[in-house]
Amino acid sequence: MKPAILNATLKHTKITMHGEDHSNIDNKYYESLKFKEGELLFVEHSNNACEIKPEDEHLFKAYAKGSEWVFYTQKKLGNPNVICFDTRAEQGYLNAFEEKNLLTAADKLAGDDTAYMRFYLDSVLKTMKALSNNKPVFESEYFDRSFNILDGQLKAVIALLKIKKAKGIDTDVLGMPLDGLLPGLAYTLATNLRRIASVSVDMGLSKALVEFANRGATDIHIFCGKNHLVRMAHMLPLSNLKITGITKELELLADIEMQGDPEIDRQIVALN
């Protein structure tokens, strides 16, 4: 699938964003791109690993597509203008594999395997700690309302786990079956944590783009997931904005607000 494209102007800087669906990439599009000398290439690659290690090169050759392909090929060419902007590892958040496993663990919390519960709680607490440590990255009002929702959901999940231990999974809580309520709430929390970690990248990216525009950068390409493209369209003071390849469904998925019902979370916590 070809990426969504954003074309715009930031101050006097030409901005081109290439927003891919990470699971469905037509690499012919990226192979056809030609870059001019001096153009800045922002790639969604960890800033903790913005060089190619010899032991990893075979993996890039075999699997790199989209933004990762741009990163690999331009680094191999010695392009000094490649900028890695994914700060999640640096800030202590889960990696993509861990996020996927967290969602799986959330689905399994109604079962009897305590390993899923331990992994789930350890991963959530790790992410909450990373979030607290990186509070300055976010706007204060957004951080406060998001953290309050996440904290309430975590307390509610722990309360439901205690009810499960005391009464078993075949019970109702607030008129809802526990075997559906527990994994449902846990999955919502895990999804929210993945979302806010992604938003932290957008906060840093938007600041970096404005800084480079203020320095007089002429052309900037950004290679990223579609969600980042949608958020940049809202976060940056862009002019001459044109976007192709974005649906209303994607606009909803790219929403930065935390999902859930804080009132139900409070009612669950009050049961203990």
Count: domains in the chain: 2
Same domain flag for 102 and 214? no
Same domain flag for 173 and 215? no
CA distances (Å), origin 199, targets 10, 77, 166, 230: 20, 31, 37, 11
Q: Are the beta carbons of 29 and 2 closer than 8 angstroms?
A: yes
Same domain flag for 265 and 163? yes
- Given pLDDT bands bounded at 50, 70 and 90, which one contains residue 251? confident
> What would the pLDDT profile of 138-190 be if each residue is shown by its tens digit?
999 999 999 999 999 999 999 999 999 999 999 999 999 999 999 999 999 99
For the residues 1-24, what does the mean pLDDT come to? 95
The confidence score (pLDDT) of residue 83 equals 98
Q: Which residues contact 9 (CB under 8 A, 6 or more apart)?
A: 15, 238, 239, 240
> What would the pLDDT profile of 82-104 be if each residue is shown by its tens digit?
999 999 999 999 999 999 999 99
Same domain flag for 128 and 162? yes
Same domain flag for 149 and 262? yes
**In what side-by-side order are the strands of the sheet with 82-86?**
82-86, 40-46, 219-225, 13-20, 4-10, 239-244
Q: Is the pLDDT of residue 254 over 90?
A: no
The confidence score (pLDDT) of residue 40 equals 98
Q: Is the pLDDT of residue 264 over 80?
A: yes
> What would the pLDDT profile of 56-88 be if each residue is shown by its tens digit?
999 999 999 999 999 999 999 999 999 999 999
**DSSP state, residue 269:** H
For the residues 23-38, what does the mean pLDDT come to? 94
Which residues sit opposite 268 in a β-bridge?
A: none
- Given pLDDT bands bounded at 50, 70 and 90, which one contains residue 220? very high
Check: pTM over 0.75? Answer yes or no: yes
For the residues 113-117, what does the mean pLDDT come to? 95
Q: Which domain holds residue 167?
A: 93-197+258-270
Same domain flag for 70 and 159? no
Same domain flag for 179 and 246? no
Same domain flag for 193 and 151? yes
Same domain flag for 131 and 153? yes
Same domain flag for 18 and 106? no
CA distances (Å), origin 19, targets 2, 39, 42, 185: 9, 18, 12, 30
Same domain flag for 115 and 29? no
Same domain flag for 71 and 138? no
